Chain A
Amino acid sequence: MANLVATDLETRMRLSAPSDLVELRKDILSRRDPTKLCVTICSGTGCHAYGSEEVYESFVSEIQKKGLQKKVGIRRTGCHGFCERGTVVVVFPEEICYLHVKPDDIPEIVATTLTERKVVERLLYEDQDGQKIVQEGDIPFYKHQSRIVFGNNRFIDPKNMEDYIALGGYSALAKALSEMTPELVLDEVKKANLRGRGGGGFPAGVKWETTRNAPGEIKYVIVNADEGDPGAYMDRSLLEGNPHSVLEGLIIGAYAIGSHEGFIYVRQEYPLAVENITIALEQARKYGLLGKNILGSGFDFDVRIHRGAGAFVSGESSALMTAIEGRVGEPRPKYIRTAVSGIWERPSNLNNVETWATVPLIINKGADWFTGIGTKGSKGTKIFSLVGKVNNTGLVEVPMGMPLRDIIYKIGGGIRQGKKFKAVQTGGPSGGVIPERLLDTPVDFDELSKMGSMMGSGGMIVMDDTTCMVDIARYFLNFLSDESCGKCVPCREGIHKMLKILNRICAGEGRKGDIELLEEIAVVVQTSALCALGTTAPNPVLSTIRYFRDEYEAHIHEKHCPAGVCKALISYYIQPDKCKGCMICLRNCPVGAISGGKREVHFIQQNKCTKCGNCFEVCPSKFAAVTKATAVQLAQAVGNRD
Chain B
Amino acid sequence: MEIAQKAKPILVVEDESIMRESLRDWLAEAGYHVETAEESEKALKAIAERDFGLLILDLRLPGTGGIDLLRQARAKRPQLKGIIITAYPSVQTAVEAMKEGAIDYLPKPFDLNRLEESIRSTLGPVQVEIRPKIATEKAVTKPSVAAVRVPKIAPEVPKEIPDQLRNIDDKSALIQMLLAIQSENRWLSNDALVWVSLKLGIPLTQIYHIATFYKAFSLKPQGRHSVSVCMGTACHVRGATGLLNKTTDTLKIKPGETSRDLQFTLNTVNCLGCCALGPVMMVDGKYHSNPSAGKVKEIFETSK
B287 and A309 contact, CB distance less than 8 A: no
Selected interface stretch from A97-105, A324-332, A571-579, A594-602: A324-332
Selected interface stretch from A25-33, A145-153, A228-236: A228-236
A156 within 8 A of B: no
Q: Which residues of B contact A485 (CB under 8 A)?
A: 213
Within 8 A of B (CB), among A15-56: 45-46, 48-50
Expressed in whole angstroms, the Cα–Cα distance for A323 and B209 within the complex equals 12
- Tell me which of B179, B275, B280 contacts A309 (CB under 8 A): B179
- Tell me which of B173, B274, B289 contacts A326 (CB under 8 A): B173
Q: Closest CB of chain B to A265's CB: distance in Å?
A: 11
Q: Which residues of A contact B144 (CB under 8 A)?
A: 344
B210, closest chain A residue (CB)? A328
A612 within 8 A of B: yes
Selected interface stretch from A283-291, A388-396, A441-449: A388-396
Expressed in whole angstroms, the Cα–Cα distance for A312 and B213 within the complex equals 11
Q: Which residues of A contact B171 (CB under 8 A)?
A: 326
B122 within 8 A of A: no
- Tell me which of A267, A310, A385 contacts B275 (CB under 8 A): A385
A233 and B270 contact, CB distance less than 8 A: no
Expressed in whole angstroms, the Cα–Cα distance for A539 and B215 within the complex equals 25
B26 within 8 A of A: no
A339 within 8 A of B: no
A463 within 8 A of B: yes
A617 and B242 contact, CB distance less than 8 A: yes
A588 within 8 A of B: yes
Q: Which residues of A contact B276 (CB under 8 A)?
A: 46, 83-84, 385, 387, 393-395
Q: Closest CB of chain A to B17's CB: distance in Å?
A: 24
Query: Known interface pairs A49-B289, A588-B293. Does A311 touch B273 (Cβ–Cβ under 8 Å)?
Result: no
B127 within 8 A of A: no
B183, closest chain A residue (CB)? A268
A-B contact pairs, 7 of them (CB 8 A): A46-B276, A218-B139, A228-B271, A232-B275, A326-B171, A327-B206, A328-B210
- Tell me which of A46, A268, A324, A325 contacts B145 (CB under 8 A): A325
B250, closest chain A residue (CB)? A590
A270 within 8 A of B: yes
B174 and A49 contact, CB distance less than 8 A: no
A475 within 8 A of B: yes
As a 0/1 sequence over residues 274 to 289 of chain B, the CB contacts with chain A under 8 angstroms (1 = contact) are: 1111101000010111
Expressed in whole angstroms, the Cα–Cα distance for A482 and B256 within the complex equals 14
Q: Which residues of B contact A349 (CB under 8 A)?
A: none
Q: Closest CB of chain B to A458's CB: distance in Å?
A: 11
- Tell me which of B214, B237, B288, B289 contacts A388 (CB under 8 A): B237
A432 within 8 A of B: no
Q: How many residues of B are in contact with the other chain, CB < 8 A?
A: 49
B140, closest chain A residue (CB)? A218
A313, closest chain B residue (CB)? B213
Query: Known interface pairs A311-B215, A461-B234, A463-B237. Does A231 touch B174 (Cβ–Cβ under 8 Å)?
Result: no
B293 and A310 contact, CB distance less than 8 A: no
Q: Which residues of B contact A346 (CB under 8 A)?
A: 143
A231, closest chain B residue (CB)? B233
A425 within 8 A of B: yes
Query: Known interface pairs A230-B271, A612-B245. Does A268 touch B179 (Cβ–Cβ under 8 Å)?
Result: yes
A112 within 8 A of B: no
A136 within 8 A of B: no
Q: Closest CB of chain B to A302's CB: distance in Å?
A: 11
Q: Closest CB of chain B to A272's CB: distance in Å?
A: 10
A272, closest chain B residue (CB)? B273
Q: Which residues of A contact B217 (CB under 8 A)?
A: 309
As a 0/1 sequence over residues 249 to 271 of chain A, the CB contacts with chain B under 8 angstroms (1 = contact) are: 00000000000000000011111
B145 and A328 contact, CB distance less than 8 A: no
Within 8 A of A (CB), among B114-137: none
Query: Known interface pairs A311-B213, A385-B275, A467-B237. Does A344 touch B231 (Cβ–Cβ under 8 Å)?
Result: no
As a 0/1 sequence over residues 392 to 404 of chain A, the CB contacts with chain B under 8 angstroms (1 = contact) are: 0111000000000
A231 and B216 contact, CB distance less than 8 A: no
A388 and B274 contact, CB distance less than 8 A: no
Q: Which residues of A contact B213 (CB under 8 A)?
A: 311, 328-330, 485
- Tell me which of B145, B245, B269 contacts A344 (CB under 8 A): B145
- Tell me which of A312, A327, A459 contacts B233 (CB under 8 A): A459
A299 within 8 A of B: no
- Tell me which of A269, A389, A612 contacts B273 (CB under 8 A): A269
B277 and A310 contact, CB distance less than 8 A: no
16 more A-B contacts (CB under 8 A) besides A230-B234, A231-B233, A617-B242? A45-B274, A50-B277, A227-B271, A230-B271, A231-B234, A232-B271, A268-B179, A268-B216, A269-B216, A269-B273, A326-B173, A388-B233, A393-B275, A429-B233, A475-B233, A479-B270
Within 8 A of B (CB), among A427-454: 428-429
Q: Which residues of A contact B74 (CB under 8 A)?
A: none
Q: Which residues of B contact A483 (CB under 8 A)?
A: 270
Expressed in whole angstroms, the Cα–Cα distance for A203 and B213 within the complex equals 32
As a 0/1 sequence over residues 226 to 255 of chain B, the CB contacts with chain A under 8 angstroms (1 = contact) are: 000001111111100010010001000000
Q: Which residues of B contact A14 (CB under 8 A)?
A: none
Expressed in whole angstroms, the Cα–Cα distance for A393 and B178 within the complex equals 36
Q: How many residues of A are in contact with the other chain, CB < 8 A?
A: 67
Q: Closest CB of chain A to B104's CB: distance in Å?
A: 21
B90 within 8 A of A: no
Query: Known interface pairs A233-B275, A236-B273, A425-B233. Does A310 touch B215 (Cβ–Cβ under 8 Å)?
Result: yes
A307 within 8 A of B: yes
B95 within 8 A of A: no
B172 within 8 A of A: yes
A613 within 8 A of B: yes
A85, closest chain B residue (CB)? B276
A337 within 8 A of B: no
B216 and A229 contact, CB distance less than 8 A: no
As a 0/1 sequence over residues 51 to 83 of chain A, the CB contacts with chain B under 8 angstroms (1 = contact) are: 000000000000000000000000000000001
B237 and A49 contact, CB distance less than 8 A: no
Expressed in whole angstroms, the Cα–Cα distance for A231 and B139 within the complex equals 41
As a 0/1 sequence over residues 116 to 149 of chain A, the CB contacts with chain B under 8 angstroms (1 = contact) are: 0000000000000000000000000000000000
Q: Which residues of A contact B174 (CB under 8 A)?
A: 326-327
Q: Which residues of B contact A429 (CB under 8 A)?
A: 233
Q: Which 4 pairs across A and B sit closest by C-beta, in order of nearness?
A: A49-B287, A230-B232, A83-B276, A309-B214
Within 8 A of A (CB), among B183-212: 206, 209-210
Query: Known interface pairs A49-B287, A467-B237. Does A387 touch B275 (Cβ–Cβ under 8 Å)?
Result: yes
B167 within 8 A of A: no
B272 within 8 A of A: yes
- Tell me which of A269, A324, A387 contacts B272 (CB under 8 A): A269
Q: Closest CB of chain B to A640's CB: distance in Å?
A: 29
Query: Known interface pairs A311-B213, A326-B146, A393-B276. Does A50 touch B271 (Cβ–Cβ under 8 Å)?
Result: no
A614 within 8 A of B: yes
Q: Closest CB of chain B to A256's CB: distance in Å?
A: 22
Expressed in whole angstroms, the Cα–Cα distance for A214 and B270 within the complex equals 37
Expressed in whole angstroms, the Cα–Cα distance for A218 and B141 within the complex equals 10
A389 and B238 contact, CB distance less than 8 A: yes
B176 within 8 A of A: yes
A496 within 8 A of B: no
Q: Closest CB of chain B to A58's CB: distance in Å?
A: 18
Q: Which residues of B contact A588 (CB under 8 A)?
A: 293
B175 within 8 A of A: yes
Q: Closest CB of chain A to B247's CB: distance in Å?
A: 12
Q: Which residues of A contact B278 (CB under 8 A)?
A: 387-388
